[in-house]
A and B are shown apart, each in its own frame.
Chain A
Amino acid sequence: MSIEPEFSPDGGIWECARCHVPLVQQKVQAQYMHSAFDVILPRCPHCGLTLIPKSLAQGRMAEVEALLEDK
């Protein structure tokens, strides 16, 4: 029932440099300091290489990092 926001790439069409296939939006588990978070991110369907969009890295992910590290 949960409608999870998807974090799409910041712009342009992204493809995996190794496999030469377009990235697809997939559920990915991000782990940090013994915590795990399910998020939907652009990912290579072959090798699993995952792109973390700049907006996510500088936004929500930075906030979570600060809270986990008690900053």
Chain B
Amino acid sequence: MGKTLLQHTQSLCPVCLRRIDAAYVREGAEVFFCKTCPQHGAFRVLAWRQAAGLADFSAWQQGRVPAYPAHPATALRQGCPYDCGLCPEHGQHTCTGLIEVTQRCTLHCPVCYAAAGQGAAPADPSLAIIERQLQALFTASGACNVQLSGGEPTLRDDLPHIIALAKQQGLGLVQVNSNGLRLGTEQGYAARLKEAGLDSVYLQWDGTDDTIFQTMRGRPCLAWKQAALQACREARLGVVLVATVARGVNDHALGDLLRFAVAQGAVVRGLHLQPVASFGRFPWELANAPRLSLPDLMLALEEQSAGMVRAADFHAPSCEHSLCSFSAVYGRDGQGGLQGVVGAACCGTGGGQGAVLDNASGSRRSKAFIAAHWGSPAEKGAQGSASVQGAQAAMPLMDDLSRFVAQAGADRRFTLSAMAFQDALSFDIARVRGCCIHVVTEQGKLIPFCAYNLTSFEGIALYRGKEKR
């Protein structure tokens, strides 16, 4: 079969993590990411799939004007991705800063990028450290959104205090990444988080039946996850359902998951899919991972949704790198369904093929979009609404009336999105440089998410766990 070289870039050897040249190569209807380490040999992994109704690999991607950090925290020494902090050459501002408030976890999922809940977890960072992280994030990135992650953040009894600190710091949307166990089992807990200022729960949710949870999470989870969702609904906390998607495990059940998510009404702001990447803990050999490309997900959603969504609805992002995600925004029909696509989540359609996008403005729009669409449902009454106030930090250039329109309009919309994380095989330095999701380390450095979590074939991390306390 003929091969066509589409694009050069750089990557890392998945064994020794040295920087090597890489390329995207088309073979028939598939595009592979290929690279060769002089010491460890050749590697390749599926990156894209061509199909009718889907954008071509090259047409999907848009030119970008990089947005460099105003105040880089690290100097250029060894080059990308070894100088993260951010370094002066990083090409995108922070949309979401991620702070891991604990490494402890109630579950021990077979798939976990943080490899949490394994052995003795290190002591949780103190409140003073977390406060410094929040300050560092605000200093470097302004009123971006923040996700409190882990481990399982709800294991910290002082989580409401941390949420309040994030709000006081002036950050935009404050979100907690959770498995939902405490939210679903402790009476009044969701309301306490809401009262502390929480806007959104990033609720891990892989499917609509327990066989899927049994495989992905090692136990049935559906009952208490449904209780968690109900608790968030009662507390008027916005929820984004987040599914890890593995070939042969739940890629056949995406239509059911979409229908379930939409039928929950405005409490579920959107469904976010994460095709498996192999870092941290995973139960397969890296070379034989049950991978899915972004086009695989787009096609599966179209095939399984009985016309609710179409692959052609999805757009490339204009905040993060084009190959990292897709999204669409739909109007709700008011009867538990959708009534057609109204745009792209994140930052709009980006101007079409051949357009060159300005990363700085893409980042600003993305922050405001996420704050409005992934935040809590609007509440009528009192001073504007709670969520109008909550979105204020992320939308400072609007007055109250405009913020209300953006927020209330968001309740009538549903976001459907996916993000492809990179692992040792798929790690593309151009994608890392365009990353807008940055992990804040305990020393206040910002590391692109996939660089932070990357582990080699032998489990050696590039960044995670390397910083001394």
Contact = CB atoms under 8 A, between A and B. Distances in A.
A5 B398 contact: yes
Question: What DSSP secondary structure best describes chain A's contact surface?
Answer: mixed
A interface, how many residues as a size bin? 20 to 34
Contacts, number: 57
Contact of B385 (A3, A5, A35, A56): A35
Contacts of B400: 4, 37-39
A62 to B, nearest CB: 10
A24 interface: no
Contacts of B399: 4-5, 37-40, 60
Interface stretch (B176-184, B217-225, B288-296, B375-383): B375-383
A31 B405 CA distance: 15
A62 B205 CA distance: 39
Contact of B401 (A1, A33, A39): A39
Interface residues of B, number: 19
B397 A3 contact: yes
Contacts of A35: 380-382, 384-385, 404
B396 A3 contact: yes
Interface string A19-50: 00000000000100111111110000000000
B402 interface: yes
Given A1-B396, A2-B396, A67-B409, A36 B401 contact: no
Contact of A64 (B170, B392, B401): B401
Contacts of B329: none
Interface of B: 170, 380-385, 392, 396-402, 404-405, 408-409
Given A1-B396, A37-B384, 4 more contacts: A5-B402, A37-B400, A37-B404, A68-B380
Top 8 A-B residue pairs of the complex, sorted by shortest distance between their CB atoms: A37-B400, A67-B408, A34-B381, A60-B401, A4-B399, A63-B405, A2-B396, A38-B400
19 contacts: A2-B392, A4-B399, A4-B400, A5-B399, A35-B380, A35-B381, A36-B382, A37-B399, A37-B404, A38-B400, A39-B399, A56-B401, A60-B401, A60-B402, A63-B401, A64-B404, A64-B405, A67-B408, A68-B408
